[in-house]
Amino acid sequence: MALVTSTEMFKKAYEGGYAIGAFNVNNMEIVQGITEACKEEKAPVILQVSKGARAYANHTYLVKLVEAAVIECPEIPVVLHLDHGPDFETCKSCIDGGFTSVMIDGSSKSFEDNIALTKQVVEYAHAHGVVVEGELGTLAGIEDEVKVSAEDSSYTRPEEVEEFVSRTGVDSLAIAIGTSHGAYKFKPGTKPQLRFDILEEVSRRLPGFPIVLHGSSSVPQNYVEMINANGGKMPGAIGVPEEQLRKAASLSVCKINIDSDLRLAMTGTIRQFFNEHPDKFDPREYLKPARANIKELVRHKLVDVLGCAGKA
């Protein structure tokens, strides 16, 4: 199957009460780990590329890696998505350069400026057969170089969503209900809790419309412990409880973004490898177990959290 847009995927996910995993890709091993798990579990998948990923690996390399995965996994639908598009030009470059989906992140702008920018991207994207994700509400954490403090973050205001969607024409909407980017999402000792009341009110106002959750890594404690036991220092790293993501997936959330968990699996595995094998220096030897652990982590998400295994 060639690259597809997320339209059909989201429709089925909404009706089926599950979500599609949107995993960030930055290099070959990450693309392979994710797509091998999706192929084996027969799961549709969104591979997403941030501005930082394009700066690191180069647009063409990333597109070609994803195209290679599509050839290797012909039985599953794959979306190539721009994560957190910062401006019209970046979105246009991805639309012109083979992406099937883009996010325009105008969440830090005023409501009117967010609408104007999102509408401009939607018009160009739709004219080229590409779908668009917009965002209302601000998540805490770090995206590319931008750090948003917990005080400056804000939940999505449900009373704004209908106007935003109808005036922009976006195909999906990312909302802020208490998730945040990175590995430190909740203060140690506090109870992590997403605002399902906001999600439910948004869904009531936008029936049948696909909702997106960013900042949805669960920060697996086995990898945090592996990192800390092998020279790392990540005290108090806490993520979103997986039961809450499962519940969101059963409601109107059709896309769940996961990046930090992949980073933790890769970093923990490599740290442990070097600690156990200080004499080794062949990158293939430490990237191979890192890729294998990414694959098992993604398999777990598909089967136990997102509910999209077997839905390809």
* Residue with smaller CB distance to ligand 13P, 171 or 259: 259
Tell whether residue 24 is a contact of ligand G3H (CB under 6 A): yes
- Which residues sit at the interface with ligand 13P, rule CB under 6 A? 24, 83-84, 181-182, 214-217, 257-260
The entry of Zn ion, ligand G3H, ligand 13P, none that residue 53 binds, CB within 5 to 8 Å by partner kind: ligand G3H
Tell whether residue 144 is a contact of ligand G3H (CB under 6 A): yes
Alpha-carbon distance 244 to 136, whole Å? Answer: 21
The entry of ligand G3H, Zn ion, ligand 13P, none that residue 217 binds, CB within 5 to 8 Å by partner kind: ligand 13P
Alpha-carbon distance 91 to 37, whole Å? Answer: 29
Do the Cβ atoms of 173 and 206 come closer than 8 Å?
A: yes
Nearest to residue 44, comparing CAs of 15, 80, 68? Answer: 80
The entry of Zn ion, ligand G3H, ligand 13P, none that residue 216 binds, CB within 5 to 8 Å by partner kind: ligand 13P
Tell whether residue 81 is a contact of Zn ion (CB under 5 A): no
| Residue 83 annotated in active site | yes
One residue of 51, 54, 214, 255 binding Zn ion per CB under 5 A: 214
Residue 277, burial from CB neighbour count under 10 angstroms (0-12, 13-18, 19+): exposed
> If residue 142 lies in a helix (H) or strand (E), which one and from where to where?
strand 141-143
Tell whether residue 185 is a contact of ligand G3H (CB under 6 A): no
> Which residues have a catalytic role annotated?
83
Give contact residues for ligand G3H (rule: CB under 6 A): 24, 50, 52-53, 83-84, 143-144, 181, 259
